Amino acid sequence: MRRDGTGTGRTIVVREAELSFDASAYGRYVADVYDETYAFLTPDSAVEVLAELADGGPVCEFGIGTGRLALPLVERGLTVAGIEGSPDMVAGLRSKAGGDRIDVAVGDFTHTRVPGDFALVLLAFNTVFALPDQAAQVACFRNAAAHLRPGGRFVVEAWVPDPAAFRNGSALRPVRVAEDEILLEAALLHPAEQRMTTTKVRLTAGGVHLLPANHRYAWPAELDLMAELAGLRREHRWAGWTRLPFGDDSREHVSVYRRADSA
């Protein structure tokens, strides 16, 4: 890949001798139905905020997936690169218009590097919790900081842990109910390890799809400490992409961390 941010659209496959988890596993289960499953999530508000925070500079997305946010950012005129653990998800990105303009490194975003210095690094849609433990999450924050130019921003979108939503360590909730689709989530909580195992069940006329995932969750204050360990300071925290104030009843957050202006 080139360092000048012109968007060559190359894919680098990173061969790693030691992986603490299988970064490609999620994509193998969900890549073929990912876009359909999450089509109800419109990216407009997120793209507006991210474009403003990037201020014209290049963007690197950790867990770029099939390009739900990356492609609209490219359409806004921004240069976008990414890191993705799943070759199947990258194939989905490449199949879309504009996907060939995005440089993607296939690897574990706790340490995989994309050449260049970025105005903004993005870790959206709870992807920070896909990492298996606290050490991996701290490494991810440090890797994000290493990608940032002085004054650059690291943006994290995640849900707020809610152990009270579980009864006897389990929960079942509807995610989406529509005429042509039902999306349910079954979850088991392991509070001693701050771990949650989930399977989303998607019911459509075409059949049943199971979308399993593992999460190592963290509270916002814990993420703030990870940022501090990486040399970043919190600039904003909102209750979502609409930038409403974050408060006691907030069930998700968008947190913006910034690298110091001097290296």
Given CATH 3.40.50.150, say whether it is the number of domain 11-160+218-259. yes
Q: Where in 113-147 does DSSP place strands (E)?
A: 118-123
| Residue 229 CB neighbour total at 10 angstroms | 13
Structure pTM? 0.88
* CA-closest candidate to residue 84, choices 137, 133, 159, 13: 13
Mean pLDDT computed over 204-216: 92
Matching CATH number, 163-214, of 3.40.50.170, 3.30.70.940, 2.20.25.570, 1.10.10.200: 2.20.25.570
Model confidence band, residue 2 (pLDDT cutoffs 50, 70, 90): very low
Number of Cα atoms under 13 Å in the Cβ half of residue 175: 20
Mean pLDDT computed over 109-114: 96
Calculate what percentage of the chain has a pLDDT beyond 70: 90
CA distance 32 to 36: 9
* Chain position carrying tokens 């400490």: 225
Mean pLDDT computed over 211-235: 97
**Does the pLDDT value for residue 26 go beyond 90?**
no
Residue ranges covered by each domain of the chain: 11-160+218-259, 163-214
Model confidence band, residue 15 (pLDDT cutoffs 50, 70, 90): very low
